[in-house]
Amino acid sequence: MRVAIAEDSILLREGLARLLGDAGLDVVAQCGDGDDLLLKVRSYRPDVAIVDIRLPPTHNDEGLRAALEIRDRHPSVGVLILSQYVELGLALKLLAESAEGVGYLLKDRIIDVDEFVGAVRRVANGGSALDPIIVSTLLSRQRPGDPLARLTPREREVLELMAGGSSNQGIADALVITLRAVEKYVSSIFAKLGVPSTGGESKRVHAVLTFLRS
């Protein structure tokens, strides 16, 4: 599995590369800014690019723009955005069309190495990884006649993991239940929310997000 990293702090970039290398991933490119990243993504065709949202020269939105450009030009390359702040508005911008091969995590999440490497692999494989803060923000949003109130606490847990991008197996592992039980919960949730369960795991993050946002 091939990885490109764009991060302007050398300390962090090196640490990240070593961490991913230790986990058995192949770090093919390390970049200090967005232009360099675009160039190397075109040359090396990694499976996933890990991008700091604040990159030189202005440290405003260069990282985000580079990420959106990779999504646009190289749809097969997964993009995982790392940020000091996670913002719903940015998540919506990133996942506007689809959640496939997109991740958006708080930088702190690197610390939990296993979780983080799992998220990188998921995004590289065309899945999603959405920070728990985004998910909880969406779930806490007030809605008139809140349909989420109809969910059982267990269903709510499953929904949170689902929205974060976890696969059924991932949910089963996290909640220590059987895969079969997860599937039952998922179809129950979709039925209660009135969301058509469209196809596989890769599409449902987008469906759930679209529902939660409205």
Distance, in Å, from the CA atom of 148 to the CA atom of 41, rounded to the nearest integer, reads 41
Q: Is 107 in the site for another protein (CB under 8 A)?
A: yes
- Per-residue tokens: 109: 């999440």
Residue in the structure block whose two tokens are 């949003």: 141
Of 5, 31, 54, 77, the one binding another protein (CB under 8 A) is: 54
Residue in the structure block whose two tokens are 């939105």: 61
- Report the nearest approach of another protein to the CB of residue 51 (Å): 14
Task: Determine how many CB atoms are found less than 10 A away from the CB of residue 17.
Answer: 18
Residue in the structure block whose two tokens are 């999440």: 109
Q: Is 35 in the site for another protein (CB under 8 A)?
A: no
Q: Is 176 in the site for another protein (CB under 8 A)?
A: no
Residues 154-173 interacting with another protein (rule: CB under 8 A)? none
- Report the nearest approach of another protein to the CB of residue 182 (Å): 27
Q: Is 110 in the site for another protein (CB under 8 A)?
A: yes
Q: What are phi and psi of 58, to 5 degrees?
A: -95, -10
Q: Give one DSSP letter per residue of 106-161, joined into a string.
A: EGGGGGSHHHHHHHHHHHHTT-EEE-HHHHHHHHH---TT-GGGGS-HHHHHHHHH
Q: Is 79 in the site for another protein (CB under 8 A)?
A: no
Of 43, 60, 152, 198, the one binding another protein (CB under 8 A) is: 60
Q: Contact positions toward another protein, by CB under 8 A?
A: 9, 11-12, 15-16, 18-19, 22, 53-54, 59-61, 64, 84-85, 87-90, 92-93, 107-108, 110-111, 113, 137-138, 140-144
